[in-house]
Structure 1
Amino acid sequence: MTKMATETTQKLRSGAVVAVAMAVMNVSVYAYTVLVAHSIGKAPYGAFSALMGLLLVISVLSLGLQATGARRISAAPHQVAAIERVVLGVGLRSAVVLGGLCLLAAPLINGLLRLESLPTALLVGVTAFPLTYMGAQLGVLQGEERWVPLALVYLAQGLGRIGLGAALIVFRPTEFAAILGVAAGAWVPVVIAWFALRRPRARSEHSEGHPGLELLREVGVSSQALLAFFALSNLDIVLARATMPDDQAGLYAAGLILVKAVLFLPQFVVVLAFPAMSKRPDVRTMVPALAVIAVLGALGVAATALLPDLALLFVGGDDFAEVSGDLWKFGVVGTLLSMIQLLVYSALARRQGRAAVVLWTALAVLVVGALFVHTAPSLVLLVATIDAVLCAALLVIALISSREDAREPAGSATA
């Protein structure tokens, strides 16, 4: 009983450390965005936002590397040294290739986004390298469950951006300085992770099961599933702008601030639960984490419903009062997206491809459905309905997959 209590205490401490670090990171990133919006002007901020959207898409490869590295290390702890070498090697090569492609595409980026600044477009490639390699580093730390170094990397990711970025913007308030701050800040967590991972390790002879090409294939599968999730959780505002009057699109955008807050709040649960789901890829390891996310989301929805005026201040103030009565619905969307995110990572832990097909299908339904709604309340209701059905479908897939795995012979599962 004492040992169990000690392990529980350690998990709670680890969870608290990672949760605080990720909260500081998210607040820092949000604060930097607000600082840029107030410092460089409306037109330059439009260019900055477009570049940040592009970097968000590029970061999917980083998330794929992190998920793959963490899964493989968690599932095969006796091969940590060998897997780590492969993950970091693939991460470095991926970072070089993606960064190089972005540098070559800089003239195209400059033209498509109407930046009128080739140096600014080149910073996308400069940022893509550390952003991608950091994914491999995070995957190793997460898979080894080294929560304190992992928390420091997350902390550096946020504080590095706002610290270096703010200094650059004060010196020169332009979109170039704002993106340069993002690029410079992206190197800080890479350096910290390098120090955390540079300790000598015993070399393993059992590396034949994790060659670079095989790992790269898994990264590709993981990345496209995560891309589908990112598209599903971000495309609605694009659809709102395309199908609604400006005032309704503005109201919907205000509500999305609450969606992002509720989505990011329990993100630490996914980070902590993923190694356990990789070690024991069945529903029983996922359910407690899913329950925690549901409870946190329910508390957020209840607080929004009971205190709509306070929630309204958070999303933009009296200018958006028309949406105050519907803010709890945005809280529901954020909760469902958080649960979907965990279910997606659970599918990655089981290497289950059916989840990606369901995600892309839900995205297609959202695009078609959005053509028939023209107000913020109707769109949030549509999104909530699609997300609820998607969440249920992913849960059913997880249950079916778990039963199929349980029926497999022990030797097959080990292989």
Structure 2
Amino acid sequence: MSKMATETSQRLRSGAVIAVAMGIMNLATYGYTVLAAHTIGKEPYGAFSALMGALLVISVLSLGLQATGARRISSAPDQVVAIERVVLSVGLRSALVLAALGFAIAPLLNAVLHLESLPTALLVGLTAFPLTYMGAQLGVLQGERRWGPLAAVYLAQGLGRFGFGAVLIVIRPGEFSAILGVALGAWLPVVVGWWALRRPRTGAPHSEGHPGLDLLREVGHSSQALLAFFALSNADILVARATMSDSEAGLYAAGLIMVKAVLFLPQFVVVYAFPSLSQESSNRRTLVLALAMSAALGLVAVLAVAVLPGLALQFVGGDDFADIKGDIWKFAIVGTLLSMLQLLVYSALARRQGRAILFIWTALAVLVGLALSVATATSLVMVVVAVDAVLFLGLLTMALAQARPGVQIPAETRPA
């Protein structure tokens, strides 16, 4: 077998490992979400979904750490040991700060989201620490392309949430138990990540140092971009929870189960492609292939939901949410658009495209403004489809223009 054939075979196997691990993680995560929807009731589930939206927004620092660590290591493999040390150190301090912030804003979350349970809101801070530190661990493993340990961390993330959460909500149904399961499950992948990184890799090159301050600035830049994306993808449920009736907000939260399922269906594409997106020689080709794969998976999901709405209804919560049955395919479209937007956001991070962040924040402002003017779940999902579609076209045009041959990453943004 030729060297090229061997390398291709290894890449396919590595991609398959990540795809399977993240598929199981997402299946466990959304299996838990569906179990919660069926078990805790419509109104408690609306509160649970709103808190999960808040956690996703809070976790952007974790994703910023992961993106920065992966980009730096894949772009500067001669500095892997120094980068790992800095990323893990920054990750630990950031986790402590974000956990403290989560505890501090708990009373505000309790009031704004109408939880009527401060202990439930405090669980956001308890979850923030492991979620943030896990991002630093994932960034190191992803940048080094250590796909086996990376897959193990993702598996632990999904299975930990399902294992702890399922037991808790069966024993005592309610939003507190549902969020507590998420908080406890978030610690399992941190343990797995620690185990994978506990010993130095003898084959990894060493370097004298790495510019930690520069890395911190990039973490901030990456986190801001990801904050914009996750705020965009979760602002709708927060607006629904704050302005709609509990019944309508619960219906919309059920539809979001489909959105998140379709959004994370091709998530392995982002994880596997990101190190290549950081390399100028393969950026455009990788982006086009990744977008095509995400679009194909999304199209399959939309068609399946349109043909089998009854089965889709059971997936998002069952007969209690029957009023949303005819609109579930629209939520699948939202998930498809968001999955491709996520790829474009990571492509922008890889090439340090600052204008993309402005586009996303502008779209968020437009989305919130329009969302405040509607009063039903059906109307809100159509608003989200329109805003996401326009944003996708704008970011795609920018990405293809700046990823064409001959367009270089600015020197000041390249690894030191």
Q: Using structure 1 for the length normalisation, give the TM-score.
A: 0.86
- Contact 1:73–1:144 under 8 Å retained in 2: yes
Identify if the C-alpha distance between structure 1 residues 258 and 143 changes in structure 2 by more than 3 Å, giving closer, same or farther.
same
- Contact 1:405–1:413 under 8 Å retained in 2: no
Which residue is 2:347 aligned to?
A: 346
Which residue is 2:148 aligned to?
A: 148
Identify if the C-alpha distance between structure 1 residues 372 and 160 changes in structure 2 by more than 3 Å, giving closer, same or farther.
closer
Which residue is 2:30 aligned to?
A: 30
Identify if the C-alpha distance between structure 1 residues 294 and 175 changes in structure 2 by more than 3 Å, giving closer, same or farther.
closer
Which residue is 2:206 aligned to?
A: 204
Give the letter for the 2:330 counterpart.
K
Shift of 1:95: 1.3
Give yes or no for the alignment of 1:62 onto 2:78.
Answer: no
Query: Please, which moves more after superposition, 115-124 or 305-314?
Result: 115-124
Identify if the C-alpha distance between structure 1 residues 292 and 97 changes in structure 2 by more than 3 Å, giving closer, same or farther.
same
Which residue is 2:80 aligned to?
A: 80
Mapping for residues 167-186 of structure 1, pairs under 5 Å? 167-169=167-169, 177-186=177-186
Mapping for residues 164-243 of structure 1, pairs under 5 Å? 164-169=164-169, 177-201=177-201, 204-208=206-210, 210-211=211-212, 213-240=213-240
Which residue is 1:355 aligned to?
A: 356
Number of aligned residue pairs: give it: 413
Identify if the C-alpha distance between structure 1 residues 7 and 346 changes in structure 2 by more than 3 Å, giving closer, same or farther.
same
Shift of 1:263: 1.0
Shift of 1:171: 5.9
- Contact 2:65–2:136 under 8 Å retained in 1: yes
Shift of 1:112: 6.2
Shift of 1:244: 6.1
Query: Please, which moves more after superposition, 4-13 or 316-325?
Result: 316-325
Query: Please, which moves more after superposition, 341-350 or 291-300?
Result: 291-300
Shift of 1:24: 2.1
Shift of 1:136: 0.0
- 1:318-357: CA deviations, max 9, x gaps? 5655654444333222211111000000001111111110
Shift of 1:391: 0.9
Q: Which runs of 5+ in 1 are unaligned?
A: none
CA RMSD of aligned residues (A): 3.3
CA distance in 1, matches of 2:305, 2:86: 46
Shift of 1:218: 1.3
SS at match of 2:206: coil
**Structure having the higher Rg:** 1
- 1:250-293: CA deviations, max 9, x gaps? 55444333222211111111111111111237322211111111
Which residue is 1:335 aligned to?
A: 336
Shift of 1:385: 2.4
- Contact 2:352–2:409 under 8 Å retained in 1: no
Shift of 1:121: 5.0
Mapping for residues 260-409 of structure 1, pairs under 5 Å? 260-280=260-280, 282-317=283-318, 323-403=324-404, 406=407
- 1:350-397: CA deviations, max 9, x gaps? 111111100011112222333555554444333222222211111111
Identify if the C-alpha distance between structure 1 residues 81 and 172 changes in structure 2 by more than 3 Å, giving closer, same or farther.
same
Give the letter for the 2:357 counterpart.
A
- Contact 2:352–2:413 under 8 Å retained in 1: no
Give the letter for the 1:196 counterpart.
A
CA distance in 2, matches of 1:238, 1:321: 22
Q: Using structure 2 for the length normalisation, give the TM-score.
A: 0.86
Aligned-pair identity (%)? 71
Shift of 1:177: 4.7
Identify if the C-alpha distance between structure 1 residues 128 and 314 changes in structure 2 by more than 3 Å, giving closer, same or farther.
closer
- 1:201-257: CA deviations, max 9, x gaps? 46723424x32x221221111112111111211222344456667766555444333
- 1:302-324: CA deviations, max 9, x gaps? 22333334334433455655654
Identify if the C-alpha distance between structure 1 residues 174 and 17 changes in structure 2 by more than 3 Å, giving closer, same or farther.
same
CA distance in 1, matches of 2:91, 2:107: 26
SS at match of 1:282: helix
Identify if the C-alpha distance between structure 1 residues 252 and 266 changes in structure 2 by more than 3 Å, giving closer, same or farther.
same
Q: Which one has more relative contact order, counting CA pairs under 8 Å at least 6 apart? A: 2
Identify if the C-alpha distance between structure 1 residues 234 and 169 changes in structure 2 by more than 3 Å, giving closer, same or farther.
closer
Give the letter for the 1:222 counterpart.
S
- Contact 2:26–2:261 under 8 Å retained in 1: no
Identify if the C-alpha distance between structure 1 residues 134 and 16 changes in structure 2 by more than 3 Å, giving closer, same or farther.
same
